[in-house]
C-alpha cells in the first residue's frame, strides 16, 4: 500500500487532515514544537497544551504543582514559570514536571488537530524519528500522513514549510506518494538543506525572534535529527508514549 503524504500550509486547514483520517504531524519549528521536544527530552513528564492564558491560569489554580509555560508576542506572560524558549526547558527546571503550555500559534494547531486518532509533533530536531513513527502508524492503520504547518497567526511560515520537506525527505520514497504541496516542501528543503539555519534566519518569525533577543532559539531549533523521540498528543496531553 502506498501512503499518501499531504501538507496543509496553515493551522486553519488542520480540519482537512482530520477529516481524511490521516496521521497528523503538527509542525511549529519556531518555537512550540522545538520547546515541547526539549522539555520531554529533558524529562518533563507531560505537557498540557491550552489555547488561552485564561485556561492556563485556571488549570494552574487546580494544579499548583504544574509549571506554566508559553508566550504571548514571543515573551513570557505574567506569573509564568517559563517562556517558550526551547533552551529554557532544562533538566533542572522540567524533569518530572507537568507543564501547562500556551503559545500563539502552535497550541492552536494542536487544538485544531486534536480530534484526529494520531497527532505527532515534529520539528527539525526530530525529523527522522517523527517520519519513521508516522509511516509505521500510517501503514498499520492504512491511512495517509498529513504535515500540518502551524504558521504564524494564520499565515504561512517558511521554517515550518522547510521542516515539512525535511520530514518528507526522511519518509521511505518507495512507500509514499507526495501531494504537490508536500513535493514543493521537499524541493524547498533540498535547496536549503546545506544552509538550513541561514535560510531559517531569513524568515519573518526568525527575524522577529532575533529582534527579541532569541537568536539562540532559532539556531537550536534549526538542527536536524538531534532527538530520537516523538511526542504524541492524545486525550489532551502530550507525552512520549502511546
Ligand atoms: C507560537 O506557537 O506561536 C510560537 O511558538 C511563538 C514563539 O516563537 O514563541
Domains and CATH numbers, the chain: 3-226 (3.90.1560.10)
Which pLDDT belongs to residue 143?
Answer: 98
CA of 32 to the centre of ligand 1 (A): 5
pLDDT in tens for each of the 242 residues of the chain?
899 999 999 999 999 999 999 999 999 999 999 999 999 999 999 999 999 999 999 999 999 999 999 999 999 999 999 999 999 999 999 999 999 999 999 999 999 999 999 999 999 999 999 999 999 999 999 999 999 999 988 899 999 999 999 999 999 999 999 999 999 999 999 999 999 999 999 999 999 999 999 999 999 999 999 999 999 999 999 999 76
Do strands 145-149 and 23-27 pair parallel, antiparallel, or not at all (unpaired)?
A: parallel
Residue 33 CB–ligand 1 contact under 6 Å:
no
Residue 71 CB–ligand 1 contact under 6 Å:
yes
Which pLDDT belongs to residue 198?
Answer: 98
Burial profile 73-107: b = 16 or more Cβ within 10 angstroms, e = fewer: ebebbeebbbbbbbbbbeeebbeebbbbbbbbbbb
Tell me the whole-structure pTM to 2 decimals. Answer: 0.97
Amino acid at each position: 500500500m502506498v501512503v499518501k503524504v499531504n501538507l496543509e500550509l496553515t493551522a486553519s486547514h488542520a480540519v482537512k487532515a482530520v477529516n481524511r483520517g490521516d496521521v497528523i504531524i503538527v509542525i511549529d519549528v519556531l518555537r512550540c514544537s522545538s520547546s515541547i521536544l526539549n522539555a520531554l527530552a529533558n524529562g518533563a513528564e507531560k505537557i498540557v497544551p491550552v489555547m488561552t492564558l485564561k485556561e492556563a491560569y485556571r488549570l494552574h489554580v487546580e494544579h499548583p504543582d504544574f509549571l506554566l509555560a508559553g508566550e504571548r508576542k514571543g515573551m513570557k506572560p505574567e506569573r509564568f514559570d517559563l517562556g517558550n524558549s526551547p533552551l529554557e526547558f532544562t533538566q533542572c527546571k522540567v524533569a518530572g514536571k507537568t507543564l501547562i503550555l500556551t503559545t500563539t500559534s502552535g497550541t492552536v494547531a494542536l487544538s485544531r488537530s486534536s480530534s484526529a486518532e494520531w497527532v505527532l509533533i515534529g520539528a527539525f530536531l526530530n525529523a527522522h524519528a517523527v517520519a519513521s513513527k508516522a509511516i509505521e502508524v500510517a501503514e498499520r492503520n492504512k491511512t495517509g500522513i498529513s504535515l500540518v504547518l502551524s504558521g504564524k497567526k494564520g499565515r504561512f511560515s517558511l521554517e515550518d514549510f522547510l521542516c515539512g520537506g525535511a520530514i518528507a525527505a526522511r519518509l521511505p520514497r518507495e512507500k509514499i506518494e507526495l501531494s504537490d504541496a508536500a513535493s514543493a516542501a521537499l524541493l524547498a528543503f533540498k535547496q536549503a538543506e546545506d544552509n538550513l539555519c541561514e535560510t531559517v534566519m531569513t524568515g519573518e518569525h526568525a527575524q522577529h525572534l532575533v529582534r527579541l533577543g532569541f537568536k539562540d532559539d532559532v539556531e537550536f531549533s534549526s538542527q536536524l535529527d538531534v532527538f530520537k523521540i516523538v511526542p504524541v498528543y492524545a486525550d489532551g496531553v502530550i507525552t512520549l508514549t502511546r
